[in-house]
């Protein structure tokens, strides 16, 4: 089943986000390579794809896992969570309808 992983950043975590990004992307690429990643990306803090110094406020990941528990376990081990970028993570089942 698909799961939405909605993450909210801690305030002033831009430096941590930058430092943790390579490890974060490796995990997402591993999901993609297994055909389990629908989409992933950050929320810009301003209405611009390149927010510059304003940074990001969180991330959205939609991926396929065997269970809610597996999705929550995977999310809890994200480098952004482990390094203090993410303040909170909310995982919910997702029913893909379109496209």
Which residue matches tokens 């989409």?
39
Asked whether 78 and 88 are in contact (CB, 8 A), the reply is no
What's the pLDDT tens digit per position in 33-64?
999 999 999 999 999 999 999 999 999 999 99
Using CB atoms within 10 Å of the CB of residue 51, give its burial: 0 to 12 exposed, 13 to 18 middle, 19+ buried. Answer: middle
The answer to whether residues 7 and 60 touch, using CB atoms and an 8 Å cutoff, is: yes
pTM: 0.95
Q: Please report which confidence band the pLDDT of residue 99 belongs to, taking 50, 70 and 90 as the band edges.
A: confident
pLDDT interval class at 4 (50, 70, 90): very high
Say how many CA atoms lie within 13 Å of 50 toward its Cβ.
0
Question: Contact at 8 Å (CB) between 58 and 42?
Answer: yes
Helices (H), 1-99: 14-33, 68-76, 79-82
């Amino acid at each position: 089943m698909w799961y939405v992983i909605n993450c909210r950043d801690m305030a002033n975590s831009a430096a941590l986000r930058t430092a943790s990004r390579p490890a974060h992307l490796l995990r997402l690429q591993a999901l993609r390579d297994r055909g389990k990643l629908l989409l992933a990306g950050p929320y810009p803090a301003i209405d611009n794809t390149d927010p510059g110094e304003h940074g990001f406020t969180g991330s959205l990941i939609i991926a396929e896992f065997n269970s809610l528990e597996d999705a929550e376990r995977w999310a809890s081990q994200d480098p952004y969570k482990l390094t203090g970028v993410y303040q909170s993570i909310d995982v919910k089942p997702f029913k893909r309808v379109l496209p």
